[in-house]
Chains A and B, each alone.
Chain A
Amino acid sequence: MNQGLDRWSVPTRISSRFAALRKSVFFAVALAAVAFVPSSRALPQAATTSPTSSAKPLAKKTAAARPVALENLSAPVKSYGSSSAPIKMEVFTDYQCPSCRNMFEETLRPLIQSDYISSGKVYLVHHDFPLPAHMYGYEAARWVNAAARVGQFQSVEAALYDNQNSWQADGSIEKYVASAVPASDFKRIQKLMVGCEYQGPASTKPASLKTGVQTSRGCALDTYIEQDRALGMKIPVQATPTYVITYKGNKLPAGSGFVSWPILKQFFDSLLNQ
């Protein structure tokens, strides 16, 4: 026995060391496998769907956030009340338009706060129609559309109209949007606005953003604004605010300019009393 040990002592020690080394390597690999089980479980799926999707977490950490793709956006809801209401009022406005602000403050806000909307008598729909003459009108429409996507249309619309005099001077729309919504919703809005923000002072605003006819790539929200504009062109909208009232499917002649709440209310009452 001593002879076996004596004869094989050096090779046995070497092999035992290798064995120990193998064992330690094996345990290290096993530990690593256990530690990365969640990632490893995702790997087979990622491998089957797309070769790039597995790189998404890394891409998120290392590269800047990408604009949200249009196919991932559902249409923003910019309306008040039930679509089954007998009276539908569609209003085409520009957030930088003073007349639109007056109409919102003096007429639409009382309408929204009244029981005409809550009781299902009137369905109020907002359409964007930013005018080329208003430098920040289009950008404001983008913010409102982004807010509408997260269900904060009403508060952001009110905030922009209430503070129009402030943000139209320097284009500081973001801070008023931030103050109108919870922080979590604002983060979601900011994410939707990736690729849509104007990155510079007003004097160097890109021409495409100045004209109001937006062709900037990467801002998926522009699609909804242009849809509203196309709808307005059919009426045609020649000034803001312009409103179209539909009663039981019959579209009445479009009106433009300011209308006071008592007179509008009287008209709604006469329609409902038919």
Chain B
Amino acid sequence: MNTLGRLLLWLTDHGYQLLLAGLIVVLCIRNAKSRRKVVRVLLVLGGLVVGAVFLAAAYGKMKPLPGLAWSWSSVKTSLAMFAIQVDSYEILPSAAANTVAHTLPYFELFLGLWLVTCVGQRFSAPLACLAICGFMIAITTAYFRGLKIDCGCGIGPPEEAGPAALLRDGLKFLLPALLVTCGAFWIRRQSGASESPAVAMASSSTATD
């Protein structure tokens, strides 16, 4: 579990660097087939990176508080603590903040597992982008209202909601999600384009037959 946790945190911290390097490599490749292969590999890596972000976020919100052991009640207590952080943003009414606090970590867990499987990335990656954008909007709102509060993201040490948190979220979280989204749609388009001549040839051959 510790190794897995360290891997998740490492992917969260440095995954965007790997994807940026991969993007540069893709842009340098001239061969279309090779490029598609590299993009597929990068999509798997990107899925792992973005999935790790959401899994780390879910873990950070659900893990037991200091002095408590893992149990269902300790998870509920951690979610109650997260509800305090959501309430401190003063964006939602208390009841809504409580609902968000008790559903968001499960949504992040689900989305993280979905992304890690690299299945249906044309749907999971845009959803991840939306979630991260929503979080960044909340941080921006809190910052411009002068609230000095914990960002509550659950990843790494507590960080104050402000420009630093926005920069971190934008670079480490949103950028990989956008790259995976673009890559998933590009590879789908490339796959569709490569299939179209084959379909045309197959249909023409049947016509001649």
A interface residues with partner B (beta carbon < 8 Å): 238-239, 247-253, 255-260, 262-264, 266-267, 270-271, 273-274
Contact = CB atoms under 8 A, between A and B. Distances in A.
Contacts of B147: 239, 257
Contact of B84 (A239, A247, A263, A274): A263
Interface string B92-133: 001101100000000000000000000000000000000000
Interface core residue of A256, A273, A274 (most chain B CB under 10 Å): A274
A258 B98 contact: no
Contacts of B95: 262
B88 A270 contact: no
Given A251-B66, A259-B88, A238 B73 contact: no
Contacts of B81: 252, 267
Interface string B62-91: 000111100001101100110111011110
Interface of B: 65-68, 73-74, 76-77, 80-81, 83-85, 87-90, 94-95, 97-98, 147-150, 158, 160
A255 B65 CA distance: 14
Given A263-B97, A270-B77, A255 B66 contact: no
Nearest to B149: A257
Given A260-B87, A270-B80, 14 more contacts: A238-B160, A239-B147, A247-B65, A249-B67, A251-B66, A257-B88, A257-B90, A257-B149, A262-B94, A263-B94, A264-B84, A270-B77, A273-B73, A274-B73
Nearest to A242: B148
The B contact surface, by secondary structure, is: helix
A252 B65 CA distance: 7
Contacts of B150: 253, 255-256
Contact of B67 (A247, A257, A258, A273): A247
B158 A266 contact: no
B148 A270 contact: no
B83 A267 contact: yes
A214 B168 CA distance: 38
A266 B74 CA distance: 13
A253 B90 contact: no
**Which of B73, B77, B94 has the most chain A CB atoms inside 10 A of its CB?**
B77
Given A252-B81, A253-B158, A274 B98 contact: no
Contacts of A239: 147-148
Given A250-B66, A250-B67, A256-B88, A263 B83 contact: yes
B98 A263 contact: yes
B37 to A, nearest CB: 45
Most buried by A among B84, B94, B149: B84
A259 B68 contact: no
A260 B94 contact: yes
Contacts of A252: 65-66, 81
A274 B160 CA distance: 29
Contacts of A274: 68, 73-74, 77
A155 B113 CA distance: 54
A239 B143 CA distance: 13
Contacts of A267: 77, 80-81, 83-84
Nearest to B79: A270
Q: Which 8 A-B pairs have the closest CB atoms?
A: A250-B67, A239-B148, A257-B88, A270-B77, A267-B80, A260-B94, A257-B149, A270-B80
Nearest to B67: A250
Contact of B149 (A251, A256, A260, A270): A256
B205 to A, nearest CB: 68
Given A248-B67, A267-B81, A270-B80, A255 B74 contact: no
Contacts of B84: 255, 259, 263-264, 267
Contact of B148 (A248, A256, A262): A256
B85 A255 contact: yes
